Amino acid sequence: MRGALVALVLLACLAAAGCGGGGSAGQASNGCETVEKPPAREAEKMVPPTTTLDSSKTYSLNVRTNCGTFVIRLDTRLAPQTTASLVKLARTGYFDDTIFHRIVPGFVIQGGDPTQTGTGGPGYWLLDRPPANARYTKGTVAMAKTADDPAGLAGSQFFVVTAGDAGLTPEYAIVGKVTTGMDVVERIGRLGSASGRPTQTVVIEKITPVVHL
């Protein structure tokens, strides 16, 4: 199994941490439902997509969580292979009842690992190198990788930037931007710590792909 996927190495590697969420159990004062941890799933061997998405259409992912819903507008030009993969995985329910296992306030929230370990993935890797001038500003959605992986390598783990500018080097495949519900992302982003360990369970209840004709 590969080492823990990380969103970055800034001054030092962030420590991997697991936590989870599941069924609704009440409303917390921070606007998130208090939920129980869903069971971790075993590593899965998925099949990568064989084609990219239709370039004449626009694709979004509606991400429903126990803290609310946010929408990611996918950038099929910057990451044609990875965006096709995310849509396919979402359609199979791969992300349903998973968690944001790493939350660093004022920096990023990271999820997409059904094993809840920070090491899981779909069983395949794709490569969509970001441009040399790529910047990871607030609302940018990109793919996590280890420091030793080549630039643009992507599995299923993604992160959303909550900082004004995360100051990351252009090594992480950029798959889109949050266009609706950034307040939800920031709400989630407050439920973390410097180590990345969440202070409250945050569950991705479902990710639904939407095609805009």
Confidence of residue 7 (pLDDT cuts 50, 70, 90): very low
**Residues 137-195: tens digit of each pLDDT:** 999 999 999 999 999 999 999 999 999 999 999 999 999 999 999 999 999 999 999 99
**Residues 53-71: tens digit of each pLDDT:** 999 999 999 999 999 999 9
Confidence of residue 15 (pLDDT cuts 50, 70, 90): very low
Asked whether residue 52 is assigned to any structural domain, the reply reads: no
- Sequence-ordered list of residues with C-beta below 8 angstroms from that of 202, at least 6 positions apart, any chain: 19, 21, 32, 65, 66, 67, 99, 100, 103, 109, 188, 191
Segment 1-12 shows an average pLDDT of 42
In terms of DSSP bridges, do strands 158-161 and 108-111 run parallel, antiparallel, or are they unpaired? antiparallel
> How many other CB atoms sit within 10 Å of the CB of residue 137?
12
User: Average per-residue pLDDT in the chain?
Assistant: 90
Asked whether residue 6 is assigned to any structural domain, the reply reads: no
Residue 25 corresponds to which amino acid?
A: A
**Beta strand extents in 75-167 (DSSP E only):** 98-104, 108-111, 126-127, 140-143, 153-154, 158-161
Q: Which residue has the higher pLDDT, 13 or 114?
A: 114
Asked whether residue 119 is assigned to any structural domain, the reply reads: yes
What are residue 204's phi and psi, to 5 degrees? -85, 100
Asked whether residue 43 is assigned to any structural domain, the reply reads: no
Q: What is the pLDDT of residue 26?
A: 65
Asked whether residue 45 is assigned to any structural domain, the reply reads: no
The reply to whether the predicted model has a pTM over 0.85 is yes
Asked whether residue 63 is assigned to any structural domain, the reply reads: yes
> Do 99 and 19 form a contact (C-beta atoms < 8 A)?
yes
| Structure tokens given for 113 | 């690992």
CA distance 137 to 130: 14
Total number of domains in the chain: 1
Domain extent at residue 173: 24-37+58-207
Q: Is pLDDT above 70 for 72? A: yes
Segment 33-45 shows an average pLDDT of 93
Q: Which residue has the higher pLDDT, 213 or 23?
A: 213
CA distances from 207 to 23, 63, 117 (A): 16, 5, 20
State the DSSP code for 186: H
- CATH number (domain holding residue 90): 2.40.100.10
Q: What is the pLDDT of residue 213?
A: 80
Asked whether residue 144 is assigned to any structural domain, the reply reads: yes
CA distance 49 to 188: 30
